[in-house]
Amino acid sequence: MTRVLIVEDQADIRMLIRMTLEFEPYEIHEAACGDEGLALAQALQPDLMLLDVMMPGRLDGLQVCARVRELPALASTRVVLLTARGQSQDLEAGNRAGADAYLIKPFSPLQLVETLERLLGPG
């Protein structure tokens, strides 16, 4: 089963993502901050991470993405950045950090599912 890790500091957004993905064949895990997300990523080795860019704490989403890209065990993990900031410089920062895709909030459940299917293949 495809393992998905949601790293998002807002519980309501995590819940909406989980509710959207529950109908797909995914094993879903959640983290509320960058540090927790990075630790869970190392432990779970997810197939895909949904990673909020702006999070409180020591590591934001761009830093987590860059660290994931440095770890050989996570080389095949796909990373989708979630952000309310869609300026070209924000997209460039995501690309530099190694993101595979970018979803700008608010995104629809259909956009989310289509992005995951594009990166992982149909469930």
Share of the chain above pLDDT 90, in %: 88
> What is the band of 122 on the pLDDT scale with cuts at 50, 70, 90?
low
8 touches 14 (CB < 8 A): yes
Q: Give the angle subtended at the CA of 53 by the CAs of 51 and 56, to the nearest 5°.
A: 105
Count of Cβ atoms closer than 10 Å to residue 12 Cβ: 8
Give the model's pLDDT for residue 88. 87
Share of the chain above pLDDT 70, in %: 98
Measured CA distances, 75 to 45, 71, 72, 78 (Å): 9, 6, 5, 8
Asked whether the predicted pLDDT for residue 123 surpasses 60, the reply is: no
Measured CA distances, 5 to 26, 28, 80, 86, 88 (Å): 10, 6, 10, 22, 26
Structure tokens at 32: 């509320």
Supply the CATH classification number for the domain 2-118.
Answer: 3.40.50.2300
> In the chain, which residue ranges form alpha helices assigned H by DSSP?
11-21, 34-44, 61-70, 88-97, 109-120
Q: How much is the pTM?
A: 0.95
Task: Quick: pLDDT tens for 42-98.
Answer: 999 999 999 999 998 999 999 999 999 999 999 999 999 999 887 889 889 999 999
